[in-house]
A and B are shown apart, each in its own frame.
Chain A
């Protein structure tokens, strides 16, 4: 199994631009999570899906952030417009069912200048 795949691995963009992060979960997993990691706030859960349905988006910082999961093998996290304070490493993780161990992707390092 290839594990959780994220793209791009690095993204540098200018303030105001739209950023789209992509995630392919492990085949067969039905829960998908988006996290953000910064030095100041640590690892924060942004949103998670179960069977492609958003279950909890209370961690999404504001309306500039949106996430979709159109099918079981693909999810996107979009930031529009991006701001310098969005600079962070964004992780996607997946799991089978609820409550078990989560498998993390390698992350996307986002820098907004």
Chain B
């Protein structure tokens, strides 16, 4: 079953605006990861945040993690048309540390 649940399911914005996507999960995690998937392609890893971290940045991406609320958010600043894709959160919850459980994703459309 899918642990991560992304919100919203779909988001449409104009180029230059910021996009915020949220992810909620149910169990304790070792880390949480965000991936991007362009249509017809494989997933691409964006950023990993560990359970003892609260915020992480990578270029135009900012990820926060609130373990007390079991939630994470991905912020893309100054969006571009090329950011149009589906975004998935994935949680690593097992003791083995390898099994990822993916959410259903947020479809982001950035209009030029």
Is B88 positioned at the interface, with any CB of A under 8 Å from its CB? yes
- Which residue of chain B has the shortest Cβ distance to A107 in the bound complex? B42
Query: What per-residue 1/0 map shows which CB atoms of A77-113 lie under 8 Å from chain B?
Result: 0000000000000010101001111111111000000
Q: Which residues of A contact B104 (CB under 8 A)?
A: 42
Q: Do B98 and A105 have beta carbons less than 8 Å apart?
A: no
Q: Do A106 and B42 have beta carbons less than 8 Å apart?
A: yes
- Which residue of chain B has the shortest Cβ distance to A35 in the bound complex? B102
Q: Do B99 and A48 have beta carbons less than 8 Å apart?
A: yes
Bound: A107/B30 CA distance, A: 27
Could you list which residues of chain A lie within 8 angstroms of chain B, going by C-beta atoms? Answer: 4, 31, 33, 42-43, 45, 48, 50, 55-56, 91, 93, 95, 98-107
Could you list which residues of chain B lie within 8 angstroms of chain A, going by C-beta atoms? Answer: 2, 30-31, 33, 35, 41-45, 48, 88, 92, 96-105
9 A/B residue pairs, CB under 8 Å, sorted by A: A42-B2, A42-B102, A50-B96, A56-B96, A91-B43, A95-B98, A99-B98, A102-B33, A102-B45
